[in-house]
Structure 1
Amino acid sequence: MHGPALVSWLLAALAASSGGYCGWRVRRWSSAQACGGRHHLARRESDVLEAAMGLGMAGMALLPGVFWGWPYALLAAVLLVGALAGRGAGLRVHRLHHGIGALAMAYMALAMAGGGGSAGGHAGHHGQPGGLPLLTGALLVYFGVYALWEGSRVLTAGGAVAVAGGPAVTVAAPLPRACRAAMGIGMFAMLLSM
């Protein structure tokens, strides 16, 4: 593997790792005691969606095709309607972000399928770019800014921090944010390869 094929495999590994970690978090939430709180349910929903996005991105990086577009178009519609009907601002923002991500996945699948012949069956080998340049550019800006924002939050997150002379204070763990930043980078890279 070399050139764009290697990039496709690396992108698939990054996305699969991020999606797999989110899937592990879903399993951990399932085995944990059911606290039933709104925050617990929102976090679990977010982990399920991030796992689906990561694993779908890995599949799209290795086997691009129109068949990826339809499930993500349906997921985008459900999430965007759910964002409008959400009860909390945080839940609406999460659903809106994941809806935009699912819409971007559907758009990429359809654009890559119609964007020219594929050599070797890997993303990034197309003879001509697919999709609408303005929409692709807007999505590039969105996911680029998102990846930078989440990446900056990784730097400020930590584990248990010892306060001088006092007990350790737990700060939000950086790994979930690092996974979200990695998936933002993956979406940016996939859009860039169209």
Structure 2
Amino acid sequence: MNRDDGPLFGGRAWLPALLIVPMFLGFAFLGVQGGTVIGTLTLAAVVVWAIRANPEGPIEIAAPGEGVRGGVLVVLLAPIDDPPVAGVLAAITDPSRREAGEPLLLAPTRIGRLDRFFGDIEAARFESQRVLAVSVATLAAAGIEVEGRVGDDDVVLAAEDTLRTYAATEVVVFAPGEDDDGAIAKLERRLGIPLRRID
């Protein structure tokens, strides 16, 4: 990403320099107290602006090429332990389909609010590894060879991180149940490739 294309200032590299002007004028015309108040308000406005900045652009996907793996990315929000689901994935990742490539499983770390608050991510990472191990074993029993990795706790960020180095042709999300936080819909909006959801 080019420094001028950042989501915070929207391609206007001169904007951060312009933020100094109110502080300078406050110190010049209102003295130390006035300049400090204006500087604090300006800084608070920048912090609020930075928090609300939300990069909603399309997710970059690695280009296929030598040394770059690619194929179907399967995002796991639950373990695949059901043979019919494994059968559906077997059809999607069938090696005779050119798009199937080398399937990759991604298990985002699902952290609860209390765990996040206390910084306890070990249990969540262990659970994600369990989801991955169960899913790999179930798919292996169905004759599908896959690799997997554990990702970030944010589903969209986990997929985005993975897609930087994996040339996916399609994303499959295994999510039995509701999309409570809207992550799947957000991921679908930002992807430039097809997304399928399997319940």
Compute the TM-score of the two structures, normalised by the length of structure 2: 0.26
Bigger share in helix: 1
Structure whose alpha-carbon radius of gyration is higher: 2
Whose strand fraction is larger, Structure 1's or Structure 2's?
Answer: 2
Task: Provide the TM-score with structure 1 as the length reference.
Answer: 0.26
